[in-house]
Structures are given as C-alpha cells and as structure tokens.
Amino acid sequence: MRLDKFLSDMAFGSRKEVKVLLKSKAVEVNGHVEKDPKQHVDPDKDTVTVNGEPVVYQEFIYLMLHKPPGVVSATEDTRDPTVIDLLGPTEQHFKPFPVGRLDKDTEGLLLLTNDGKLAHELLSPKKDVGKRYYAQINGVVTEEDSEAFKRGVTLDDGYETKPAELTILKSDDISEIELVITEGKFHQVKRMFESRGKRVTYLKRLSMGKLKLDPELKIGHYRPLTEEEFASLRPAKQ
C-alpha cells in the first residue's frame, strides 16, 4: 500500500496532512527518511517510524468499554451522548461500533470494534453466546423464577425466551441476581423479570462469551483487548 494511505489509516491525518508530515522528514521506512507519499510499504515486512516511534499497521480495533449509564449504544444520536463519544480521536478514527446494545441506563461490558465479521459471529442467535448480567430486582426473586427462566418465559410481545440460567445472590424485597442469557432481544432481562411481576432497578453486564469485564477498568473507561481476550472471542475456541 502507499505510504500516505498507511499513515492516514493509522490516524496521522488526511493525505494532505501526511504529505506535510513526510516533507518534515519525520517519517522513516526501514531506517531511511522517506518523503514520497507514493512509496510502497508492506505493513507485514517494512518498519515505519514517525519521529522515531514505530507505527504498527492495524486494520481492526477491539476495545473493551465499561459502559456508564446515560450514554446510548449507538454510533450517532441526536439527543444523547453515545458510547463512541467516550473514545479518543485515535480510536474514533477506526470507526468502531458497539457489538450489540446495552440500554441507556445499563452499565458494564461493551465490546467496540470495526470488525463486522466478528460482530456478526458474536451476535448470531445460532452461536448461543452467553451474556452474564448482574441485576438488582424490586421484589423477592425465588426458585420458581429460576425454574421459569430455565423453561423459558413469554415476553409481553409473545416471544418465548430460550433457557436462561438464574443465580440468586440475595432473595429479599430488593433481590440481587446473576442471569445468563444467550439472546439479545430488546430490554430482554428487564422484560423477563416483568413477565414474573418484578422490576429490574439496576443492570450491569459482566461478560459476553468468555470475555469478562475487567474489574480494574473504571466506569466510562476503555482499553484494547489483550491477545488472550481476543483469542477467547473466536468462535472456534468457545
């Protein structure tokens, strides 16, 4: 690929801006100053540096976001801030999008990527990717609820949910639970509890497949996936 495309793709500015950068002699290819925007580089073989810093070419971005409440899981919105607004310009340059949706008031794990193929695999209902949620519930959650969720419940629009695994952490007027579902219907967890006459008052996603929310990742913050986390997402390894 052309050197100017390489640098532009890696967020060093528009082709015009990259031209100026090249003129300033800031860019080296395999240890030699390169000023020609048309110079061919092979991202797998050539070493490109800008001001002495190596630039590793990457096409895809994979970010773990600890979604805070109050932002919507979309790339654009006319009313509310989006999860993309939480990212810096370098990450935004890759045009990531959220893999699936969390409600505006839901917190927790959200994967952001520009890898449409992976997103499709993770969201495909056929792949049965388990999503684990922690929730606080207004009402006493009981073993009957666990049994009902295991069998499947009927949502307000008549949809029958697939078997889900409920763990009761605290059964009280305000109960605490963890629930694993393999689907992602609109407001699914909230509507599943509504079908049992109970209301979700707090919802946080803890994991998606083998990808777990990093407990060290502060709310509203994000980081790239580690190699291990990335590998764990590939369907063959699930």
Applying CB under 6 A, the residues found at the interface with ligand URA are 102-103, 106, 187-190, 203
CB closer to ligand URA out of 37 and 209: 209
CB closer to ligand URA out of 59 and 160: 160
> Is-contact 200 190, C-beta < 8 A?
yes
The whole-angstrom separation of Cα 181 and Cα 184 is 8
Q: Is 103 tagged catalytic? A: yes
- The type of residue at 14 is S
The catalytic position among 46, 77, 103, 214 is 103
Q: How far is the CB of 191 from ligand URA (least distance, A)?
A: 6
Q: How far is the CB of 24 from ligand URA (least distance, A)?
A: 47
Q: How far is the CB of 108 from ligand URA (least distance, A)?
A: 9
CB closer to ligand URA out of 3 and 84: 84
For residue 21, what is the enclosing H or E element? helix 15-23
Return contacts of 185-193, CB within 8 angstroms, 24+ apart: 185/155, 185/159, 185/161, 187/103, 188/155, 188/161, 189/133, 189/135, 190/103, 191/155, 191/156, 192/149, 192/153, 192/155, 192/161, 192/164, 193/135, 193/137, 193/139, 193/145
Q: How far is the CB of 203 from ligand URA (least distance, A)?
A: 6
Q: How far is the CB of 187 from ligand URA (least distance, A)?
A: 4
Determine how β-strand 97-98 pairs with β-strand 131-138: unpaired
Residue count (the chain): 238
Collapse the DSSP code of 52 into the 3-class scheme (helix H, G, I; strand E, B; otherwise coil) and give the result.
coil
Distance (Å) of CA 200 to CA 29, 101, 175: 56, 17, 9
CB closer to ligand URA out of 55 and 86: 86
CB closer to ligand URA out of 113 and 188: 188
Residues with active-site annotation? 103
